[in-house]
Amino acid sequence: MTRDETSLLARVEALLADPAHARHPLHEALEDLYRHHLEEKERLERLISISDTYQRYAREDELSARQRYDKALKRQAKLSRISDRYQQLMREHNLALKQDSTHDPLTGLPNRRLFGERLKQEAKCAKRHPQSYTLAMLDIDHFKRINDRHGHDVGDQVLVAIAHVMRQELRDYDLCARWGGEEFLLLLADTQLEEAHAIVDRLRQRLSEIPITVGDMTLSITASAGLSEHRNGENPLEETLHRADQALLRAKRSGRDRSCVDLA
Ligand SMILES: Nc1nc2c(ncn2[C@@H]2O[C@H](COP(=O)(O)OP(=O)(O)OP(=O)(O)O)[C@@H](O)[C@H]2O)c(=O)[nH]1
């Protein structure tokens, strides 16, 4: 309320309270006007108060809505990070599972399953571009003696060293799998028997040069191998492999440390 208004109201109140003006013809009308003014003033103050309260709540609501929004954003970002990490873990887990299911844990070489898959691919390719490949079954000679004389751990180390040499010596498009204990199966892609024979003999030579140190002794190993070239229409995992096995048997029977080819 301004000072003018306050003093005007004070003057009116004084006039109305003065008994000398009680019977004045304007007394009643002035009194009505005075009360009406007071009521209007009160109503206006109430409205202002309601409006202030409303604005305060609106500001608070806006603030808390913004805080809720920020909080939700942060939670969303956190969930995205967790989800990304989870997906990354799943990818790593799946890769590890795939690696475990297709590779030998000791040597890291492909296992039978991967070899079988690769042979199927080879068969598909052969339909489009007929080409020859050779299978070679390679077996370490008298491996049991190494285990018996020097222990299983030394045997394991020899297997790991053999796998290392295989990886070094073979071409990228060949495949060497650990087929069993000390048996390895080689797929020599796009290679006929004669060439494969030379490759396998070079590989056997490298294997015999692996220095195996046990205490102050140095041992060496030899290997025998049997080879067969895949024939058109032949089931590789049954017929071709069987012929390679037979050739390996001949290599073992005729004194080991050699390779035999299947010519049947
Ligand atoms: N250290 C080790 N030895 C293994 C593993 N798998 C198989 N062996 C051993 O390999 C040996 C294979 O022995 P045999 O099948 O008699 O063959 P070999 O002594 O190599 O004789 P030939 O093949 O006839 O020359 C066994 O003593 C098995 O215990 C392995 O993962 N680690």
pLDDT tens-digit series, residues 63-114: 899 999 999 999 999 999 999 999 999 999 999 999 999 999 999 999 999 9
Please say if the pLDDT value at position 132 is more than 90.
no
Q: Are residues 116 and 94 in the same domain?
A: no
> What is the pLDDT, as a whole number, of residue 226?
98
**Residue 80 CA to its chain's centroid (Å):** 16
Nearest CA to ligand 1 atom 32: 156
Instruction: Provide CB contacts within 8 A for 32, sequence distance 6+.
Output: none
DSSP reduced 3-state for 263: coil
Q: Which two tokens stand for residue 64?
A: 């808390």
The answer for 32, left when phi > 0, alpha when psi is -120 to 50, beta otherwise, is: alpha
Query: Is 45 part of the annotated catalytic residue set?
Result: no
Contact 163, 109 (CB under 8 A): yes
Q: What is the DSSP letter of 110?
A: B
> What is the pLDDT, as a whole number, of residue 114?
95
CA distance 257 to 205: 9
Within-domain flag for 139: yes
Q: What is the DSSP string of 56-104?
A: HHHHHHHHHHHHHHHHHHHHHHHHHHHHHHHHHHHHHHHHHHHHHHHB-
Q: Are residues 119 and 3 in the same domain?
A: no
178 C-alpha vs ligand 1 centroid, how far in Å? 13
Q: Are residues 84 and 156 in the same domain?
A: no
Q: Are residues 84 and 165 in the same domain?
A: no
> What is the pLDDT, as a whole number, of residue 186?
98
Contact 209, 221 (CB under 8 A): no
> What is the pLDDT, as a whole number, of residue 44?
95
Q: Are residues 83 and 116 in the same domain?
A: no
Please say if the pLDDT value at position 1 is more than 80.
no
Instruction: Give the domain extent around 187.
Output: 112-261
Q: What backbone torsions phi and psi does residue 230 show, to the nearest 5 degrees? A: -65, 135
Q: From the alpha carbon of 140, which atom of ligand 1 is closest?
A: 20
Last residue of a domain, one of 102, 137, 158: 102
Last residue of a domain, one of 67, 102, 137: 102
247-to-132, 180, 201, 233, 256 alpha-carbon distances in Å: 18, 17, 14, 20, 12
Please say if the pLDDT value at position 176 is more than 90.
yes
> What is the pLDDT, as a whole number, of residue 52?
93
Number of domains in the chain: 2
Last residue of a domain, one of 49, 73, 102: 102
Dihedral over Cα of 250, 254, 260, 262: its sign: negative
Q: How confident is the model at residue 199 (pLDDT cuts 50, 70, 90)?
A: very high
Within-domain flag for 107: no
Helix (H) or strand (E) holding 136: strand 134-140
Q: Which residues line ligand 1 (CB under 6 A)?
A: 106, 139-144, 147, 152, 155-156, 159, 181-182, 252, 256
pTM for the model = 0.73
Q: How confident is the model at residue 215 (pLDDT cuts 50, 70, 90)?
A: confident
Q: Are residues 65 and 173 in the same domain?
A: no
Q: What is the CATH number of the domain that holds 256?
A: 3.30.70.270
Q: Which of the following is catalytic: 39, 45, 182, 234?
A: 182
Contact 241, 133 (CB under 8 A): no
Please say if the pLDDT value at position 182 is more than 90.
yes
Q: How confident is the model at residue 125 (pLDDT cuts 50, 70, 90)?
A: confident
For the residues 180-190, what does the mean pLDDT come to?
A: 95
